[in-house]
Amino acid sequence: MPRNPTPLKGQTAVITGGARGIGKITALTLAGAGANCALLDVMDEVKATAAEVAALGVRAEGYVADVTNSEQITELMKTINETFGAIDILVNNAGITRDNLLLRMTDEEWDKVIAINLRGAFVCTRAAARYMLKQQRGRMINIASVVGVIGNPGQCNYSASKAGMIGLTKSAARELASRSITVNAIAPGYVKTAMTDKLPEKAKEAIMGMIPLRRLSEPQDIANAVLFLASEESSYITGHVLHVDGGMGM
Ligand code: NDP
């Protein structure tokens, strides 16, 4: 059978951290498959990114919002549901790093990373679940990390936040499954984005040595996995952690 080129036509995807990096490429990919997109980011750039997404012929809006602000996110999901008519797909992608060695890591560095990466995902999951439960259908995709599974020196805060996201994924998957809502996580390895650009050359070389496929990932590799988990083809998969890491975490 020929493949449907727009399997997500008419569906609405909410993508956090959608202004740039993995979030932006994910939005363009889901839009390419026909999905309308609501992008949410702390950066004003999110408006320009939404315009690029809309140029693909779908409805797209960019919202400046902070995933840690519970009230703002609850209100925004309501607005998105009213504006677009539904929330079918949620991609919890907003995330930051504040790396430091354990003994030097400050409480602020710990709290900030946990707040944005983990609490932010919880806040958005809870707010979007309200609408998915009503329509008895939905797809949630959490962008975790390989280091949430295998750990990484200098990233106690970040790896704990990503391991927490995996726990959130599995519990929410069990809780929401009876309403045909799937919740899965993707664990990327090292992806070429602003987040990894700032790594020193030596660290990049060391990382390359740990990747069996011998290349960093492109944001598109992650977006392809999101597309699969958002699509009908993955309807029997929930609570899963999909490693997209060139074999790094196996
Ligand atoms: P980027 O920094 O390029 O993009 C993340 C976006 O999220 C930025 O625009 C950022 O804004 C935004 N953001 C930060 N805090 C908030 C907030 N409180 N509310 C809303 N938006 C916010 O990162 P990547 O594209 O590289 O990463 C995307 C996700 O993938 C993250 O969760 C990351 O942990 C994960 N990941 C990335 C990997 C990589 O190698 N790049 C590997 C494994 C996982 P600002 O720039 O102002 O902070």
For residue 197, the CA-to-ligand 1 centroid distance in Å is: 12
Q: Is residue 153 predicted with pLDDT exceeding 80? A: yes
For residue 126, the CA-to-ligand 1 centroid distance in Å is: 20
Residue 202 is predicted with a pLDDT of 87
- Quick check: CB of 143 below 6 Å from ligand 1? yes
Q: Using CA atoms, how far apart are residues 71 and 127, in angstroms rounded to an integer?
A: 10
- Average pLDDT of the residues in 9-27: 98
- Quick check: CB of 164 below 6 Å from ligand 1? no
Say which residues have a Cβ less than 8 Å from residue 164's Cβ, sequence separation at least 6. 114, 117, 118, 148
For residue 57, the CA-to-ligand 1 centroid distance in Å is: 26
Query: 112-116, 127-131, 187-191, 198-202: which range is least confident on average?
Result: 198-202
- Average pLDDT of the residues in 109-117: 98
Residue entry with tokens 């992008």: 39
Number of other residues whose CB lies within 10 A of the CB of residue 181: 22
The phi and psi torsions of 244 (rounded to 5 degrees) equal -125, 75
- Average pLDDT of the residues in 144-163: 97
- For the chain, percent of residues with pLDDT exceeding 90: 92
Question: For the segment 85-100, what is each residue's pLDDT rounded down to a tens digit?
Answer: 999 999 999 999 999 9
Using CA positions, which residue lies closest to atom 41 of ligand 1? Answer: 191
Residue 65 is predicted with a pLDDT of 98
- Average pLDDT of the residues in 171-191: 98
Angle between helices 120-135 and 70-84 (to 10 degrees): 30
Return the bridge partners of 17, or none: none
Q: Using CA atoms, how far apart are residues 122 and 113, in angstroms rounded to an integer?
A: 13
- Residues with catalytic annotation? 158
Average pLDDT of the chain, as a whole number: 97
Query: 14-18, 160-164, 203-207: which range is least confident on average?
Result: 203-207
Q: Using CA atoms, how far apart are residues 250 and 230, in angstroms rounded to an integer?
A: 24
Using CA positions, which residue lies closest to atom 46 of ligand 1? Answer: 43
Q: Where are the alpha helices (DSSP H) in 42-119?
A: 46-54, 70-84, 107-113
Question: What confidence category does residue 192 fall into, taking pLDDT thresholds of 50, 70 and 90?
Answer: very high
Residue entry with tokens 């984005």: 193
Question: What confidence category does residue 120 fall into, taking pLDDT thresholds of 50, 70 and 90?
Answer: very high
Comparing CA positions, the residue from 222, 163, 168, 230 lying closest to residue 190 is 222
Question: For the segment 37-83, what is each residue's pLDDT rounded down to a tens digit?
Answer: 999 999 999 999 999 999 999 999 999 999 999 999 999 999 999 99
